[in-house]
A = this chain, B = another copy of it.
């Protein structure tokens, strides 16, 4: 069944990293003026700022804070380093609470050369360790599976299926999944996994951008919606059928797009959002 186009910006969220050249104040002012309704704040945008004041600034401009991005990076060879990662994630939870963000996106991490099975165990243990702190703070944790090309160094969780298995093990209303089309579009289990996640109540977030061909950089060559091959609208349809009613979050890392005039880029995001997602 064809999925209806989006007709307004009421569920459009932009990640601060998407317009990286802008400091937080500029991002907030420009997003609000452009009619964007949600913002996901990257931690580096908060560096050197008062976090609670930043949250107030955002709310005063009428924007909803969708997530703080990002916690995670739990696995490490040395137990002391895993303990440090857990401490850092507790600080991230405190930061989310101070900001007024209801959720943290977790890029869960991996250790080059360590088996993915062992890394996934360390990730599960790490999330379990910070979970009481998250629950006490009222902050949800969204595991973001990353594309298999990041399996060795950024995330040992590479499919929605693996993220669901982790959620099922942790069994908490505070642990769920951030589904990003960039990482998951190729997976032929995606529709089934999204729907299962919806049934299980773990579909916490939905991130959009596009996959360009050729992609020339492993990290910073994502495309604006419509510039690539991802059936974004179809996947949004699955997400909505699964009961998701949250924001559609535009998260793009792109040296090419960061080098453009960011006000024009934000206008392009709005049209791409309406036309291609």
Chain A residues within 8 Å of B, Cβ to Cβ: 112-113, 115-117, 147-149, 151-153, 158, 162, 185-188, 211, 213-216, 218, 228-229, 231
Q: How far is the CB of A122 from chain B (nearest CB, A)?
A: 15
Q: Collect the chain B residues with CB atoms within 8 Å of residue A151's CB.
A: 185-186
| CB-CB under 8 A for A211 and B152, given A116-B188, A158-B186, A186-B116 | yes
Main secondary structure of the interface of A (DSSP, over half): loop
Q: How far, in whole Å, are A231 and B152 apart by their CA atoms in the complex? A: 12
CB–CB A213/B112 < 8 A: yes
Q: How far is the CB of A275 from chain B (nearest CB, A)?
A: 15
Q: Collect the chain B residues with CB atoms within 8 Å of residue A215's CB.
A: 149, 218
How many copies of this kind of chain does the complex include? 2
Q: How far, in whole Å, are A168 and B90 apart by their CA atoms in the complex? A: 49
Q: How far, in whole Å, are A211 and B218 apart by their CA atoms in the complex? A: 14
Q: How far, in whole Å, are A277 and B162 apart by their CA atoms in the complex? A: 28
* CB<8 Å pairs between A and B, sample of 15: A112-B213, A113-B228, A115-B231, A117-B188, A147-B149, A148-B186, A148-B187, A149-B149, A149-B215, A152-B186, A152-B211, A152-B228, A158-B186, A162-B188, A215-B218
| CB-CB under 8 A for A152 and B213, given A158-B186, A162-B188, A188-B162 | yes
4 additional A-B residue pairs with CB within 8 Å, beyond A152-B211, A153-B214: A149-B149, A152-B228, A153-B213, A162-B188
